[in-house]
Amino acid sequence: MVRHPLELSQDEALVDQATGFDAAVQRLRVGGVVVLRRVLSSEIVAALGAAADRKFDVMTEAAAAGTIDPQDRVYLDQHAIAVDGVSAGGVDCRKWLESVFSPIAAKILGHAVTSHMFSFFRRVEPTDTEDGLGLSLPWHQDQTILQAPLVNLWVPFGACGREAPGLELVTRRLEDRVPTETTGANVYSRGGLSIASATVQQRFADTLWCPEFAVGDAMLFLGSTVHRTSVLPGMTKRRTSVDFRFVTAA
């Protein structure tokens, strides 16, 4: 596979090495996104995935029993569950993700960081389409939704981008809010949070990137980076992943 300029190889990507850390920060500053190849061990990724699956099971049972919290129900209907309260091997997932990746986010945001409650484990099926159930997220900027600068850490728990849905991104660092539209197509566009595909094509067609991911890869992108779920024809597998947001600490 040809290497994209906004990715770091396994050796470079080790976030506890000064060189990998600086290179990741540099790529984020230039292109708004960096993919860190094989930065997490397969054991850790499997533990995170199993922890997410357990909480999906608990939430699904609670929904069936009518005991689920109404907000959790809204998330579950979007195939998402909050990262809060999930542990893997006795370790709190939120704290663990913070401990590994917050130095990069802090450097980008120029301040100590914490994770935002708007952080989710997500299951995306190849049958999730923008015009149908609305579970694949349309073009958007996270910053428009949270109304604050942030860095998104996105980690899939299995290979994706080829057989399972991935993510498509604009590989340009943007400072401004890209205009949004309000349509009835899905939960994002109903709230006026989605960016029209025509706008993305007009302004950013030459910068679009749909990375393929292997187990252990992680991606970081800025709150201003325009992105969407990528469901391509011929995909057959479900993807489970975490999208985790770093914001400045109070």
- Chain residues binding ligand AKG by CB under 6 A are 122, 124, 137, 142, 152, 154, 167, 227, 229, 241, 243
Q: What are phi and psi of 114, to 5 degrees?
A: -140, 170
Of residues 189 and 229, the one with the C-beta less far from ligand AKG:
229
Q: Which residue of the chain is nearest ligand AKG when measured via CB?
A: 243
Q: How many residues does the chain have?
A: 250
Single out the residue of 216, 174, 231 nearest to residue 35, CA to CA. 216
Alpha helix segments (H runs only) across 6-92: 10-13, 18-31, 42-65, 70-77
Specify whether the CB–CB gap between 157 and 52 falls below 8 A. Answer: yes
Nearer to ligand AKG, 65 or 83 (CB): 83
Nearer to ligand AKG, 98 or 142 (CB): 142
Burial class (CB in 10 A: 0-12, 13-18, 19+), 97: buried
Residue 83 and residue 219: Cα distance in Å, rounded? Answer: 17
Q: How far apart are CA 245 and CA 120, in angstroms?
A: 9
Write out the two tokens for 42.
């397969």
DSSP secondary-structure letter at 147?
S
Q: How far is CA 232 from CA 66, 114, 128, 168, 169, in A?
A: 35, 34, 11, 11, 14
> Are the CB atoms for 110 and 119 separated by under 8 Å?
no
- In terms of CB distance, is 14 or 173 closer to ligand AKG? 173
- Closer CB to ligand AKG, 44 or 242, in the complex: 242
Give the DSSP per-residue string, 177-240: PPP-B--SSSHHHHTT-BPPHHHHHHHHGGGEE---B-TT-EEEEETT--EEEE--TT--S-EE
Rounded to a whole number of angstroms, the minimum distance from the CB of residue 142 to ligand AKG is 5
